[in-house]
Amino acid sequence: MSKRYALLLSLALPIVLCAQPVNDLCSDITPEALAVGASLTFSGTRTGATSTGDGVTGNILVTTTGVGTVWHAFTTTECSDLTALYCNTALPATTQWAFLNTTCPADDYIGFSYANFGTFCTNGQFGVQFQNLPPGTYYMPIYAAAGSGNYEVQVSAIACTPGPVNDDCSTATVLSVNTTCVNVTGNVGHATPSDVPTIACNGNTGYANDDVWFAFTATGSEHTIIMDGNGDLDAVMELFTEDCGSDPIACSDATLGGGVEQIIATDLNPGEVYKVRVFHWYSELAYTTSFTICVTGDIGTNVTERAVASVRVQPNPASDRISLTGAGLGVVRILDITGRIQWTGTFVDVTMIDVSAWPRGTYIVSVEFDRQVRTERIILQ
């Protein structure tokens, strides 16, 4: 071989060996449209990927030694639940970045809701979900360690799933007190964080980013609250006063995934309302999200009867609004004279209802406390 050809070969080899993927820089990619009900398939090679320009100073994408990143991006136009599956990437399954970025270079990030090897992909490959993503453009980093090779990832979107009705303290699901456990089914799936801070329970502080709420009226000074989880749901249970505005009265975090949590609450005030919060301990959301919950104790019917008897509807007759006042927690239904429900909601001590737009006439107000019901006629004029 002549010196001329040897020199050309020596110059060419570094170019081939150091060739970078076309999507090595997030700034070089064009986001693709991802509609609800549709999917995108991204593929390429990770060979030669670098961390150049991947993130701002100090970002994990530029500080992780020996790992580069290749990029894809997509744009959504409505709230979406997103799933990214690496099922068609050759085994063995390897580490993946489990977050999305909203900037390029990466600064902030959106963490995964649920991620696992083998749950979504039966061959053991990686899958990740992101729930309640607002409309926008998202950059997806693909982990590229030495020898990673080719990859394929399918990204699909569905419409956001509404959260549970008891997502907030103010919309807590009412539990009745019984002498034995009468289970009510709960679910933390698609729940959103409340403004109530989390404190340490049993020496550990969980992440209440999927909390749901329940309420009961104490019928005695001592009650037991029992929560029975399922699967990987590592539930934490907390007991609050009615307004949820202070630290919990009691809490339980004694078991791991699928375990039973129990609070034996003492020194309660009969007739007062208490709130119970349930959430998955980890910041990663649970794959199995359902559980059951119950409250046991002396049913104290005399307390319930006093609570029902204490309810007052004023003024009567009324024109613009009515006020329901009493002591306790119950369910209110207001029916017109034909029996059709005009309004329904939860009654807690004081409830104001705007009736200014209602047809004038006679209505029936029904208030229920723990299976005790009181009705009263009101007239709108």
pLDDT digits (tens, 9 = 90+) for 231-284: 999 999 999 999 998 899 999 998 888 999 999 898 999 889 999 999 999 988
CA dist 190 → 35, 165, 169, 187 (Å)? 20, 11, 16, 9
pLDDT (average), residues 78-85: 96
Distance between CA atoms of residues 196 and 365, nearest Å? 33
- Position 1 pLDDT exceeds 70: no
Give 14-31 pLDDT, tens digit per residue. Answer: 333 458 999 999 999 999
Distance between CA atoms of residues 375 and 334, nearest Å? 9
Q: Residue 369: its pLDDT value, please?
A: 62
pLDDT (average), residues 340-365: 82
- Position 304 pLDDT exceeds 50: no
pTM, rounded to two decimals: 0.62
Residue 215 or 312, more confident: 215
- Position 305 pLDDT exceeds 60: no
Distance between CA atoms of residues 278 and 214, nearest Å? 8
Q: Residue 303: its pLDDT value, please?
A: 46
Q: Hey, where are the domains in the chain?
A: 15-159, 169-299, 303-380
pLDDT (average), residues 123-137: 94
Closest C-alpha among 338, 343, 374 to residue 358: 343
Q: Residue 13: its pLDDT value, please?
A: 37
Give 37-80 pLDDT, tens digit per residue. Answer: 999 999 999 999 999 999 999 999 999 999 999 999 999 999 99
Give 153-180 pLDDT, tens digit per residue. Answer: 999 999 998 889 999 999 999 999 988 8
Which one is the CATH code of 169-299: 2.60.120.380, 3.60.70.12, 3.30.565.10, 3.40.920.10?
2.60.120.380
Q: Which of 88-92, 151-155, 299-303 has the highest mean pLDDT?
A: 151-155
**Alpha-carbon torsion angle 24, 26, 30, 35, nearest 10:** 110
Helix (H) or strand (E) holding 62: helix 60-63
- Position 6 pLDDT exceeds 60: no
Contact between residue 227 and residue 255 where contact means Cβ atoms under 8 Å apart: no
Q: Report the share of the chain in percent with pLDDT over 90.
A: 59
Q: Residue 10: its pLDDT value, please?
A: 34
Structure tokens at 359: 């047809």
**Do the domains spanning 169-299 and 303-380 agree at the CATH topology level?**
no
pLDDT band at 348; cut points 50, 70, 90: low
- Position 106 pLDDT exceeds 60: yes
Which one is the CATH code of 15-159: 2.60.120.380, 1.20.1440.230, 3.40.50.720, 3.40.1350.10?
2.60.120.380
Residue 344 or 356, more confident: 356
Domain 303-380 has CATH 2.70.150.10: no
CA dist 210 → 79, 193, 361 (Å)? 18, 5, 44
pLDDT band at 12; cut points 50, 70, 90: very low
Range scoring the smallest mean pLDDT among 299-308, 334-343, 359-368: 299-308
